[in-house]
Amino acid sequence: MRSYTSAFECLQDEVIFAIYCIIADIHMPIMNGFELQRLAGIKRPQLPVILMTALPDPISLDPKAANNRGLLKKPIAALDLLRAVAEAVGVPF
């Protein structure tokens, strides 16, 4: 597991080519989670990105994200997060 101070820092790290999944908040300074998801998808098209938010209507930030299956609403129960990661990386839960 790694953590970063910004989405930009995550995208610049070469570990992005070795990780199994990104978990990020939608609301971040400079680059929001939807943009991180888009740019990570350019580098690694099959890399799952799970986004989380406490915003009441996160899709209003990016209407193209309406079909995003990896969008979790805060507060997130630990088992729900584990289930989402397992589904994203294709392992049984």
Q: Band the pLDDT of 54: cuts 50, 70, 90.
A: confident
Average confidence (pLDDT) over 54-71 = 64
* Strand 49-53, strand 22-25: pairing: parallel
The whole model's pTM is what?
0.84
Q: What is the pLDDT of residues 1-41, one digit of tens each?
A: 899 999 999 999 999 999 999 999 988 889 999 899 999 99
- Find how far residue 74's CA is from the centre of its chain: 14
Residue type, 9: E
Give CA–CA dist 11/43, Å, rounded: 8
Return the ∠ at Cα 81 (arms to 76 and 82), rounded to 5°: 150
pLDDT score for 61:
57
Domains of the chain, each with CATH number or no CATH: 7-89 (3.40.50.2300)
